[in-house]
């Protein structure tokens, strides 16, 4: 299974900050046109997370609903429990996933490794509005029994309008628990090979930098282009199954609102 962790985590934001266009930030996501359904399709190029990873181009497919307080799509669901669009502080709960999973088809280098499952995480956001920007903090814990750990972090987002387009830039830091690192990047003794020694990691810190550009084609159609760079912490990057500490995602998609 193709790793999609970066795709799912790239655009997680909160608090209701609106641009001059239709783009707004609420409950863990970047949204356009409140109180509507969305259907989205596109393609993204990704760098290899695991050595000898087979796929470097992956589809972007999404269907969901965007409401006043509640949102749901393929990345998960979230609900604002405190605050309004005009408040400086918003708090929300979310059901999501870091998006990591692999099996024998992901990479030839992973042959002989046990499958790693996609998790379901329950989390909490606390967000603080600063003018056009948002400081968004989050904590999420695996409730599915996959990696049994947690992720926590903070991101700063700035939202601008450039002509007809809305541009959202972001920078963030993410703490990955020891259980998370061991499950997705560790190598158990029974999985070790000559070129793949046993490995036990520790908690790690990753850094993120990127943007998302939303351009309206018509009342119901938008074109989006997104780029993210992630610098993995040494506890992840030193794993014998990880290809590089430097991870990129560059994608484009068309969205229809109905």
Query: How many independent structural domains does the chain possess?
Result: 1
**How many beta carbons lie within 10 A of that of residue 231, not counting itself?**
15
Distance CA 116, CA 224 (A): 31
| 191/108 Cα distance (integer angstroms) | 14
Largest Cα–Cα separation, the chain: 58
How far is it, in rounded angstroms, from Cα 244 to Cα 48?
7
**Contact 118/143 with Cβ under 8 angstroms?**
no
Rounded distance between C-alpha atoms, residue 13 and residue 94, angstroms: 11
CATH number of the domain enclosing 204: 2.40.160
Q: Which domain holds residue 191?
A: 5-257
Q: Which of 33-42, 70-79, 158-167 has the lowest mean pLDDT?
A: 158-167
Task: Determine the length of the chain.
Answer: 258
- Do 10 and 52 touch, CB atoms closer than 8 A? no
pTM of the model: 0.87
Where residue 242 falls among pLDDT bands split at 50, 70, 90?
A: very high
- Pair of tokens at residue 179: 């259980």
pLDDT for 166-205, tens place per residue?
999 999 999 999 999 999 999 999 999 999 999 998 999 9
């Amino acid at each position: 299974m193709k790793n999609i962790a970066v795709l799912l985590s790239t655009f997680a934001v909160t608090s209701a900050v609106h641009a001059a266009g239709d783009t707004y930030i609420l409950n863990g996501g970047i949204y356009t046109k409140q109180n509507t359904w969305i259907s989205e399709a596109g393609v993204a190029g990704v760098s290899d997370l695991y050595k000898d990873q087979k796929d470097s181009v992956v589809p972007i497919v999404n269907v969901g609903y965007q409401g006043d307080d509640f949102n749901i799509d393929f990345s998960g669901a979230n609900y604002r429990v405190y605050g309004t669009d005009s408040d400086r502080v918003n708090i929300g709960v979310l059901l999501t996933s870091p998006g990591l999973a692999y099996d024998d088809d992901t990479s030839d280098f992973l042959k002989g490794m046990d499958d790693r499952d996609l998790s379901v995480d329950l989390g909490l956001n606390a967000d603080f509005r600063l003018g056009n920007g948002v400081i968004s903090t989050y904590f999420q814990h695996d409730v599915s029994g996959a990696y049994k750990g947690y992720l926590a972090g903070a991101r700063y987002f700035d939202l601008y309008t450039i002509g007809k387009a809305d541009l959202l830039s972001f920078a963030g830091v993410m703490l990955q628990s020891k259980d998370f690192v061991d499950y997705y990047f560790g190598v158990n003794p029974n999985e070790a090979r000559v070129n793949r020694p046993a490995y036990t990691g520790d908690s790690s810190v990753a850094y993120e930098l990127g943007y998302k550009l939303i351009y309206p084609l018509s009342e119901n159609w938008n074109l989006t282009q997104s780029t993210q760079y992630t610098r993995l912490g040494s506890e992840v990057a030193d794993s014998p199954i990880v290809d590089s500490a430097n991870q990129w995602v560059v994608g484009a998609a068309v969205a229809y609102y109905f």
